[in-house]
């Protein structure tokens, strides 16, 4: 998984990590470490599934997963562990509903792509804005389901906390 230095303004190619279906929140944020801060939890993210993930993932990488990513608990550390590790987006055909809300609240972009099987052998991809299609090195384009505008804005703003801060500051004049 070599990366070439990006030119300023050049399209961003994201390295991909691949996991299967039904990745639960305990796999993303193991309960045994939930008493600790996010740096510790993130070090154990997905350790039962991809033991090298937390150590080797780099800022800007994306996670490509099977259906039902993030099922399970309400612990938002499942999403914030990925944010902490620098994951730019998750791409999966479907998500646990609670995880879906948490991810955007924490500033993590989730893309819903029914054709995720076509990404299985891809080591890198681009995310095309503004329509959120995935572009493969051979030029193939995979559409993703639309994301409501206010959620996209929240993810781009870095999450709900940052948005609330701006909103409260504006109210206080």
Q: Which residues bind another protein (CB under 8 A)?
A: 22, 24, 26-27, 30-32, 34-36, 48, 67-68, 71-76, 79, 94, 96-98, 100-102, 105-106, 148, 150, 159-161, 164-165, 168
The nearer residue to another protein, 136 or 158, going by C-beta atoms, is 158
Asked if 108 and 88 count as a contact pair (C-beta separation under 8 A), the reply is no
From the CB of 3, what's the least distance to another protein, in Å? 31
Q: Using alpha carbons, select from 105, 92, 116, 104 the residue that is nearest to residue 147.
A: 104
| Most distant pair of Cα atoms in the chain: their distance | 52
The nearer residue to another protein, 98 or 116, going by C-beta atoms, is 98
From the CB of 157, what's the least distance to another protein, in Å? 13
From the CB of 164, what's the least distance to another protein, in Å? 6
Measured at the CA of 125, the angle between CA 122 and CA 127, to 5 degrees, comes to 150
HSE at residue 141, side-chain half, CA atoms within 13 A, is: 6
């Amino acid at each position: 998984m070599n990366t070439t230095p990006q030119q300023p303004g050049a399209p961003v190619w994201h390295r991909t990590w691949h996991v299967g279906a039904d990745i639960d929140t305990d796999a993303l944020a193991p309960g045994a470490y939930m008493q600790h801060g996010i740096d510790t939890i993130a070090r154990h993210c997905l350790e039962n599934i991809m033991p090298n993930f937390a150590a080797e993932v780099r800022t800007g990488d994306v996670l490509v997963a099977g259906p039902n990513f993030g099922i399970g608990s309400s612990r938002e550390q499942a999403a914030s562990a990925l944010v902490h590790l620098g994951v730019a987006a998750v791409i999966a055909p479907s998500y646990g509903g609670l995880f879906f809300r948490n991810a955007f609240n924490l500033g993590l972009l989730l893309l819903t792509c029914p054709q995720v099987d076509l990404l299985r052998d891809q080591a890198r991809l681009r995310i095309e804005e503004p329509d959120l299609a995935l572009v493969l090195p051979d030029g193939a384009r995979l559409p993703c389901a639309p994301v409501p505008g206010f959620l996209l804005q929240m993810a781009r703003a870095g999450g709900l906390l940052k948005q609330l801060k701006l909103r409260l500051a504006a109210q206080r004049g």
